[in-house]
Amino acid sequence: MARTASRNIGQSIPRLEAREKVTGRAEYVHHLRLPGMLYGKIFRSTVPHARIKSVDVSAAQALEGVYRVVTIDDIREAIPHPYYGPAFHDQPILADGKVRFAGEPVAVVLAADPHIAQEAVGLISAEYEELPAVFDEVEAMSSDVLVHDVLKPAATFPDLKHLAGRTGTNVALDYHLLRGDPEAGFAAADHVFEHTYRSQQVMHIPMEPFVSVADAADGRLTLHTASQSPSFVRIEIARLLGWPENRVRVKVPYLGGGFGGKLYIKLEALVTALSLVARRPVKVALTMEEQFFMVTRHPCTFTIKSGVNKDGTIVARTCKVVWNGGAYADIGPRVTQKAGFTSAGPYDIENVEIHSYAVYTNRPPCGALRGFGAPQTAWAYECHMDEIAEALGMDKVAFRRKNLLQNGRPQATGTIVQDAALEQALDQVADRLNWNEPLDRGDGRIRRGRGIAVGFKGITAPTTSVAIVNLYADGSCGLYISTVEMGQGSDTVMAQIAAEVLDMDAAAIKVVHPDTDVTPYDMGTLGSRSTFHMGTAVRLAAEDARKKIAELARELGLPEGSNLPLPELFRRKYGMQAGNIIGTASFIPKYEKPDAETGHSRNATPFWGVGASGAEVEVDTETGHYRITKLVNVADVGTALNPKLVQVQLSGAGIMQLGFTTTEEMVYRDGQLTNGSLADYKIPTLLDIPPEFINEHVDSEQKDGPFGGKGAGESTTIALSPAIGNALFDAVGVRLTDLPLTPEKIFRALCEANGTPLAGE
């Protein structure tokens, strides 16, 4: 290919920020101290659902060194309607008369010394009138216990208007898709299978806990915040305050991981309110433990039913996906829609019906988490695929391959699939697992098995990205983008794209980090969109700069193609080292809103994220303990713009999903989180990484992506859990339907399968 000659594209250029990070000089919000800054510490609800009778802050207020204790009544003086959220304006900045989950912020102590603030939090007490609570998403669908009295969708959120004012329900959003005639399909099918699978509640655990600093004064506000979506924060805070956007400045330095947790609006509403009330800069920095109360991943109950012919053709499928959104909607309704429309899996099925529900419960709120619901749906549809293949006696790879969506065929929405290397990814995993060779399955106590899975996801749409490329007089370059560098390497990839157009080295480009006063709009660093969306905006902005260079050369009377170095062009124009050439561009991909009734759309997603996984496991049948001896993830990332960065993205996402598959789970008793700390909630460590851990991309191209590229951050989260679940079944013949896949569950299932009573039962 021509592009192999490029000095930027396809090159594993080291991260531009590597040195800064390794030397400890990279800037994070946690470092920031402003003159006169106060620290806010949060007093949280101890009950999951209650009316607040009273909050006694007098002892806290009396503690020496306490500046002020703030409740919702104080906040209302600064912000008359203190409710926020990306999809619904349902979340009060502090609890407002009611609490809806255990851990909800009720009051904040402000002090110059954070230790004093924390001490004062211990002096606050609240009296509650407890209310019945609901925690399970399926129960909540029909429960009399109502988490919210009335639905309050954001006016700015497209297509939720019809929900405004809806009462008497915990269902925040119901999404539906109908293709063909599933009932007729089931009736005509040789076999019908139905299963239900559950995903648990887990947390993002960014290594940098949530932190925001607000500095509000004189009708202006500056927010320094660990956010993935500075542009959104600006717009939502401006709405809360009734201010124009340009009086709200949102700055994001480096981010220590986000994974979807730091999207939309989190601590920003609270610190803004506190700064307005206190008339001082205010910082709120959560502890690792408090993060569990900020935002989590949706638990999900997914009932999937398929009609299948003898030859293995799937002819009909219905999906009922119920998403446990917790107490506040956050971006749950979007997850419901976006993961909803792909919940029948990457298969070519004539008759499909999907119902996907966002449901309120009395748990901590749930939002976006690496994959935006796709891992939960794939957990269901890919276990289901294996169960069907098993029942039909078909090879699991062959069964999938038979039904896989091919490029050029319509997905359930009607959108024609393009540039989705599903079969290639599946085949590559099978190859790395030596699928066609027999496996040593062991005998006696230790049994071995292998599993495979494939999945896909749509990308959030419509969204916009804007970029500015600024060429300085010595020919060096600044790139102004609101994409957040959160460890994924976006600075480097964006610089590579700009450098490729401008014919310079990526390392010579300075990426200016998000500052909404200066870097232009970007919808957010989320959902694998940056490389494709911002990457395209950067490419176009750099092309605009090139065009202006050519215009300048013409203006100076130079012959076409004279290729005078840029510094010399500037010197001729301005008589000295001076001036700029500024290229700008915005990008919004083609998109058609799905029909509200049928879910049909000819353009439901800008591109497809594709991942396939395979696992080999070794199970101790006496204890249920197991080892993953080999784990293979293969993703379609289009052209790998930076192969090394792609590799790190794929393995990082794989390790994260490994935790969600094997150990991680937020465990509750009566609505109280019992393991909300890293001592009890177990994330993977280096020792948990399988001895053979292969992460690869297929050789493909996203034709409308920048230099053929597309996102890589989520692909290997999609199919990993079912690959392991399927491998466990392959090893010991028991099917676990609920994540995580713990030794205890295997042990219990083995006992049940063997008819062995459990000790003590």
For residue 447, the cross-strand partners are 619
Contact 565, 516 (CB under 8 A): no
Q: How far is the CB of 126 from a copy of itself (least distance, A)?
A: 35
What lies within 8 Å, CB to CB, of 364 at 6+ separation is 101, 103, 201, 292, 293, 294, 295, 296, 326, 327, 666, 673
Q: How far apart are CA 604 and CA 592, in angstroms?
A: 6
Smallest gap, in angstroms, from Cβ of residue 273 to a copy of itself? 19
The structure tokens listed for 415 are 């959108």
Nearest CA-CA partner of 429 in 451, 458, 459: 451
Query: Residue 515 CB, nearest distance to a copy of itself (Å)?
Result: 7
CB of 522 to a copy of itself, least distance (A): 9
Q: For residues 81 and 409, which CB has a smaller minimum distance to a copy of itself in the complex? A: 81
Task: Rank residues 23 and 54 by Cβ distance to a copy of itself and give the closer one.
Answer: 23
Of 8 and 651, nearer to a copy of itself (C-beta) is 8
Q: Choose between 541 and 612: whose C-beta lies nearer to a copy of itself.
A: 541
Q: Does an H or E element contain 321, and which?
A: strand 314-324
| H helix or E strand, kind and range, residue 87 | none
* Minimum separation from the CB atom of position 582 to a copy of itself (A): 4
- Least Cβ distance, residue 578 to a copy of itself (angstroms): 4
- Measuring CA to CA, how many Å separate 435 from each of 70, 427, 430, 538, 694? 61, 9, 5, 42, 15
Helix extents (H) in 189-249: 230-241
Q: Which is nearer to a copy of itself, 211 or 352 (CB)?
A: 211
- For a copy of itself, the closer of residues 112 and 446 by Cβ is 112
Smallest distance, a copy of itself to C-beta of residue 364, A = 27
Q: Rounded to the nearest whole angstrom, what is the least distance from the CB of residue 464 to a copy of itself in the complex?
A: 4
Find the shortest distance in angstroms from Cβ 220 to a copy of itself: 8
Q: Which is nearer to a copy of itself, 114 or 478 (CB)?
A: 478
In the complex, the smallest distance separating the C-beta of residue 667 from a copy of itself, rounded to whole angstroms, is: 38
Please say which residue, 45 or 605, places its beta carbon nearer to a copy of itself.
605
How many whole angstroms separate alpha carbon 588 and alpha carbon 205? 31
* Residue whose CB is less far from a copy of itself, 390 or 515: 515
Residue 574: CB minimum distance to a copy of itself, A: 5
| CB 591, min distance to a copy of itself, A | 8
CA distances from 289 to 121, 207, 226, 670 (A): 16, 12, 17, 19
φ, ψ of residue 256 to 5 degrees: the values are -90, 60
Measure CA of the first residue to CA of the last residue in the chain; give whole Å: 65
Residues with Cβ within 8 Å of residue 493, at least 6 apart in sequence: 530, 531, 535, 641, 642, 645, 709
User: CB of 426 within 8 A of CB of 400?
Assistant: yes
Which residues, other chains included, contact 80 with Cβ-Cβ below 8 Å and sequence gap of 6+?
none
Q: Which two tokens stand for residue 296?
A: 């989590």
Pair of tokens at residue 35: 């003159």
Which ranges of 459-565 would DSSP assign to H, the alpha helix? 490-502, 535-555
For residues 575 and 568, what is the distance between their CA atoms, to the nearest angstrom? 10
- Range 112-141 burial, b when 16+ CB lie within 10 A, else e: eebebbebbbebbebebeebebbbbbbbbb
Alpha helices in 442-598 (DSSP H): 490-502, 535-555, 566-574
CA dihedral 261, 726, 422, 600 (to 10 degrees): -70
Q: Which is nearer to a copy of itself, 462 or 743 (CB)?
A: 462
Q: Residue 519 Cβ, how far from a copy of itself at the closest point, in Å? A: 8
Cβ closest to a copy of itself, residue 301 vs residue 465? 465
**Is 720 within 8 Å of 727 (Cβ atoms)?**
no
Q: Which residue's CB is nearer to a copy of itself, number 113 or number 474?
A: 474
**Cα(64)–Cα(396) distance, integer angstroms:** 68
Q: Please state the closest distance from residue 20 (CB atom) to a copy of itself, in A.
A: 5
Which residues contact a copy of itself (rule: CB under 8 A)? 19-20, 23, 25, 31, 35, 156, 158, 217-220, 231, 235, 238, 244-247, 462-464, 466, 468, 470, 472-478, 480, 508-510, 512, 515, 517-521, 523, 573-580, 582, 584, 586, 588, 591
Report the C-alpha gap between 175 and 597 in whole angstroms: 9
How far from chain centre, in Å, is Cα 592? 22
Considering the complex, state which of residue 124 and residue 542 has its C-beta at the smaller distance from a copy of itself. Answer: 542
CB of 459 or CB of 617, closer to a copy of itself: 459
- Closest contact distance (angstroms) between CB of 334 and a copy of itself is 12
* Token pair of 123 as six digits: 């002096």
Least CB distance to a copy of itself at residue 365 (A):
22
Q: In this complex, which beta carbon is closest to a copy of itself, that of residue 25 or of residue 669?
A: 25
Residue 243 contacts by C-beta under 8 Å, 6 or more apart in sequence?
219, 221, 237
The residue (of 577 and 677) whose beta carbon lies closer to a copy of itself is 577
Q: Which is nearer to a copy of itself, 584 or 647 (CB)?
A: 584
For a copy of itself, give the closer residue by CB, 545 or 731: 545
Q: Smallest gap, in angstroms, from Cβ of residue 644 to a copy of itself?
A: 20
Find out whether 173 and 157 touch, Cβ atoms under 8 Å: no
Residue type at 411 in one-letter notation: Q
| Residue where the block lists tokens 């610190």 | 271
Strands 465-471 and 509-512: unpaired
DSSP 8-state secondary structure symbol assigned to residue 340: T
Other C-beta atoms within 10 Å of 561: how many? 7
Name the residue with tokens 């107490």. 327
Q: Shortest Cβ distance from residue 235 to a copy of itself (Å)? A: 5
